[in-house]
A and B are shown apart, each in its own frame.
Chain A
Amino acid sequence: MKKYLLKRVFYMALTLFLVATITFFLMKLMPGTPYSNQEKMSPEQIAIMNQQYGLDKPIWMQYLLYMGGMLHGDLGTSFQFSNQPVSYLISSRIGASAQLGIQAMIFGIFFGIIFGSIAAINRNTWVDTSVTVLSIIGKSVPNFVLAVLLQYYIALKLGWFPIADWDGFAYTILPTIALGVGPLAETSRFMRTGMVDVLNSDYIELAKAKGLSKFQIVYHHALRNSLIPLVTLIGPYTVALMTGSMVIENIFSIPGIGEQFVKSILTNDYPTIMGVTMLYSAGLVAVILLTDIIYGIIDPRIRLAGNGD
């Protein structure tokens, strides 16, 4: 297991290095300068600025300097937020994004499991049908549409929750729902299929024959085994939540990192683009590793395969 982990960590580092390199050169291919007042500066003035910021150096040299800085934990300073270290921009805004993402994930998975299980237990009844229909709607309505609707009807018209801002738990509810409904729908569909399979298996018949109550059968025998396929979903969920949060943060005026990423690309804010890209990649790679480890824990066959590799 240790050797397997070490190997995985090495590949993670390699992946991140490649991502950094490719992003750096792609980013430098974008036309324009990182100066927000580029529109009004003459080419001579831009040349002076480039010299100040070291952007007149050959790209390979800029690359080496950047990578050198990154190894020492220096992500540079933002152009858009003048003088602001990128590490500060990220650290001051990652909290809200992470909280939103984690809450949405918990919300989606928790209710997804409940709804999916209810549908499976009551399969082919109206309960099952309604859960399925709701899942399809939940999966197909884009989260920003849902966000706008929730904000207008629940927050503005009914006044149950704050309209926007990020100032305590009440403020997180609507964005969490908007962002979490997609994973909820997906989880519930997965859960239903998984549990229907499990409920049809022989050992459930055996449990029934032993005279266990329905709750005991579902809770002790069916649920755990139906959860295994769900682990696969964590990776894709993370990606969906990361990208989805950019829009949701915007709609609910949440001081998160997602929207900052888009803006940094639009403004050629090189250090911020690199910083946030690396953050996202690192997050994703870590989640993938985590998923594999969890898999290994709950399903020994995978752990063995990993060791034999």
Chain B
Amino acid sequence: MKLAKLAKASAVVAISAVFLTACGSKSSNSSADKQVLNWSINAELPTMDPSKATDTVSFNQLNNSMEGLYRLGKNSKILPGIAKKTEVSDDGLTYTFTLRENAKWSNGDKVTAKDFVYSWQRTVDPATGSQYAYLFDGIANANDIMEGKKQPSELGIKADGDYKLVVTLDKQIPYFKLLMGFPVFFPQNESAVKEYGSKYGTASKYMVYNGPFKLSGWTGSNLSWSLVKNSSYWDKKNVKLDTINFKVNKQDSTAYNLYQSGKIDATVLGAEQARNLKGQTGYTNREQASTFYLQLNQTKSEFQNLKIRQAISKAIDRSQFVKQVLAGASTPAKGFVSSGLATYNGTDFTTASYVKSAVNYDTKEAKKLFEEGLKEIGKDSIEFTILSDDTDKGKKSTEFLQSALTEAFGSDKIKVSASNVPFKTRLSRTTEGNFDVVLSGWGADFADPISFLDLMTSDNSQNAGKWKNEEYDKLIEASKTTDANDEAKRWNDLVEAEKILMNDQGIIPVYQASEAWMVKPSVKNIIFNSAGVNYNFKETYISGN
């Protein structure tokens, strides 16, 4: 029995040691007058190099620690950034920006027009390997430079002295100002890039900042870091937070436990948690500018038939889909362009272009259309496979669609199978056209309907289903050329284009993605935009409990 006693004794010692350590750790580090926000995210920060960033975490850190010509406010409103004045030529092809003279880098250098020229040239240089360089399409010579036909120095951006920047375009870009709020267009300090070399942007110390905050404590692969107020920021008087602490918690339940314990002020929720917490204080639904839709491969005869396409769309009960597959944390899609993305004269794009018959649930009408469609193509039944991701969500999605379609049309007339593959495989098979029906997703880079509608022109590589409509192509073209300068006409072109896409059922929209969050009510003035960069914490503050 002595051994047992020994074991007991050692266990007691071990456990008490643990408790002592736990008690000894620091109790609190927040003093009452400091403005500190503790934010949980679910992925690491991969890079701070504006030319190389591709993910939302990087974009959010860049947007808050750097600043471009403009800063995007609520509803993607264009607010002054480094540019204090902008002149646009009558043909819309030349932009002249006057920069503020009091903007500084965190290393003490002044932010000048040369920093923009250097940054943009660096991004379009194929040697840099930027995955977002395609956004430069339209800036003079950008495409030729990316393809290696011209030198980066030939890009349509010139510094005229330290504080004047002239950008020339090959063609009009109606959303050009919105793009200026996207990190890939931010300035970069040449001496820092050269000094840090291959380490540039790989840790908080290998980077210089010109935004409201400075990044600190990021080693390049760790799970926590902070944004601290940047004392050399030109508009620091409007920055209210002293520190934003970021913690990576990949498990939703972990993050929510931390939220409940008061260690963090905001966290994204998983589908189950969202279902349970809906309606509680702090529950926030953040709509993403991201639509999930079915592309039908129109090289196949059955999908060339409009009635069959419409029938499939009408057989899907989108509100049930959202409830069952996504636990209510998303909304049924009203069209291809996401809602809340863009408005004109107070009307949301999705309201203006809404074609109810393209997204409503009507099994009776669906059945009728389907049978007429079968007759038209001279077949008794059709058979196809739906391609989707192999994630839990992807599998649930295909299961739902399979049963919905089989139920609506009968298993003797339609046979639907599912193919659930890894994300990258799904992308490759989609691009290759190796699918019957694919559940695709698209997120807008900037808050303009064209960010979606561009995809469906006949020659766009994203138009994997090969849907073609001349009228549609013409309208998109007009919105970029003849009507580019006329806001009303351009809006109208895009609305009409979306209507054509819907009436012709070029795609079948399914849902618009949302993120459910818990955010403490004491956190005020968070600016969230559904497209491009999500968060702007510049004027966020903590008040009350």
Pair B201/A170 contact, Cβ less than 8 Å: no
Pair A156/B4 contact, Cβ less than 8 Å: no
- Does B276 reach chain A (CB closer than 8 Å)? no
Among the 9-residue stretches A15-23, A62-70, A247-255, A298-306, the one with 4 or more Cβ atoms under 8 Å from chain B is A247-255
Assuming the contacts A83-B52, A83-B198, asked whether A43 and B254 have C-beta atoms less than 8 A apart, the reply is: no
- Find A255's partner among B19, B222, B429 (CB 8 Å cutoff): B222
> Which residues of B lie under 8 Å from residue A156 when comparing CB positions?
257, 260-261
Pair A250/B251 contact, Cβ less than 8 Å: yes
Residues of B within 8 Å of A, CB-based: how many?
A: 65
Given A82-B47, A83-B49, A84-B202, 7 additional A-B pairs, CB 8 A: A31-B425, A80-B46, A81-B221, A118-B4, A161-B22, A218-B3, A268-B424
C-beta contact mask, A50-91 vs B, less than 8 Å → 1, else 0?
Answer: 011100000000000000000000000100111110001100
Closest 7 CB pairs of A and B: A32-B424, A37-B131, A215-B2, A31-B428, A82-B47, A170-B22, A82-B52
- Does A93 reach chain B (CB closer than 8 Å)? yes
Number of interchain pairs (Cβ within 8 Å): 171
Which B residues between 116 and 159 are near A, CB-CB below 8 angstroms?
A: 126-127, 129, 131-134, 146-148
Pair B134/A266 contact, Cβ less than 8 Å: no
- Does A155 reach chain B (CB closer than 8 Å)? yes
Assuming the contacts A37-B54, A80-B46, A156-B260, asked whether A88 and B221 have C-beta atoms less than 8 A apart, the reply is: yes
- Taking the closest CB of chain B, its distance from the CB of A227, in whole angstroms, is 14
Assuming the contacts A42-B134, A82-B201, A121-B3, asked whether A32 and B428 have C-beta atoms less than 8 A apart, the reply is: yes
Which A residues between 145 and 172 are near B, CB-CB below 8 angstroms?
A: 148, 151-152, 155-156, 159-170
Residues of A within 8 Å of B, CB-based: how many?
A: 68
How far is it, in angstroms, between the C-alpha of A106 and the C-alpha of B261 when the chains are bound? 31
Pair B254/A253 contact, Cβ less than 8 Å: yes
Pair A252/B427 contact, Cβ less than 8 Å: no
- Find A36's partner among B7, B55, B148, B431 (CB 8 Å cutoff): B55
> Which residues of B lie under 8 Å from residue A160 when comparing CB positions?
19, 22
> Which residues of B lie under 8 Å from residue A28 when comparing CB positions?
none
- Find B424's partner among A33, A89, A92 (CB 8 Å cutoff): A33
How far is it, in angstroms, between the C-alpha of A151 and the C-alpha of B219 when the chains are bound? 27
Pair A173/B18 contact, Cβ less than 8 Å: yes
- Does B21 reach chain A (CB closer than 8 Å)? yes
- Does A39 reach chain B (CB closer than 8 Å)? yes
Pair B46/A168 contact, Cβ less than 8 Å: no
- Taking the closest CB of chain A, its distance from the CB of B48, in whole angstroms, is 9
- Taking the closest CB of chain A, its distance from the CB of B435, in whole angstroms, is 13
Pair A49/B3 contact, Cβ less than 8 Å: no
Chain A residue nearest to B455 in the complex (CB): A40
> Which residues of B lie under 8 Å from residue A80 when comparing CB positions?
46
How far is it, in angstroms, between the C-alpha of A84 and the C-alpha of B221 when the chains are bound? 9
Assuming the contacts A36-B55, A52-B126, A170-B25, asked whether A118 and B3 have C-beta atoms less than 8 A apart, the reply is: yes
- Does A41 reach chain B (CB closer than 8 Å)? yes
- Does B423 reach chain A (CB closer than 8 Å)? yes
Pair A38/B427 contact, Cβ less than 8 Å: yes
Chain B residue nearest to A218 in the complex (CB): B3
- Find A93's partner among B133, B221, B249, B461 (CB 8 Å cutoff): B221
- Taking the closest CB of chain B, its distance from the CB of A268, in whole angstroms, is 6
16 sampled A-B residue pairs with Cβ under 8 A: A30-B425, A32-B427, A40-B462, A44-B461, A48-B126, A81-B46, A118-B7, A121-B3, A151-B253, A151-B254, A160-B19, A163-B254, A165-B247, A214-B2, A253-B248, A255-B223
Chain B residue nearest to A170 in the complex (CB): B22
> Which residues of A lie under 8 Å from residue B422 when comparing CB positions?
30, 32, 266
How far is it, in angstroms, between the C-alpha of A151 and the C-alpha of B254 when the chains are bound? 8
C-beta contact mask, B219-241 vs A, less than 8 Å → 1, else 0?
Answer: 11111100000000000000000
- Find A267's partner among B3, B47, B424 (CB 8 Å cutoff): B424
How far is it, in angstroms, between the C-alpha of A152 and the C-alpha of B258 when the chains are bound? 10
Chain A residue nearest to B134 in the complex (CB): A45
- Does A117 reach chain B (CB closer than 8 Å)? yes
Pair A82/B2 contact, Cβ less than 8 Å: no
> Which residues of A lie under 8 Å from residue B249 when comparing CB positions?
164, 253
- Does B32 reach chain A (CB closer than 8 Å)? no
- Does A114 reach chain B (CB closer than 8 Å)? yes
Assuming the contacts A83-B201, A163-B263, A268-B424, asked whether A151 and B134 have C-beta atoms less than 8 A apart, the reply is: no
How far is it, in angstroms, between the C-alpha of A36 and the C-alpha of B17 when the chains are bound? 46
- Taking the closest CB of chain A, its distance from the CB of B379, in whole angstroms, is 31
Pair A251/B219 contact, Cβ less than 8 Å: no
> Which residues of B lie under 8 Å from residue A40 when comparing CB positions?
131, 134, 445, 462
> Which residues of B lie under 8 Å from residue A92 when comparing CB positions?
219-222
- Taking the closest CB of chain A, its distance from the CB of B18, in whole angstroms, is 6
How far is it, in angstroms, between the C-alpha of A82 and the C-alpha of B55 when the chains are bound? 11
- Find A148's partner among B198, B223, B253 (CB 8 Å cutoff): B253
> Which residues of B lie under 8 Å from residue A77 when comparing CB positions?
198
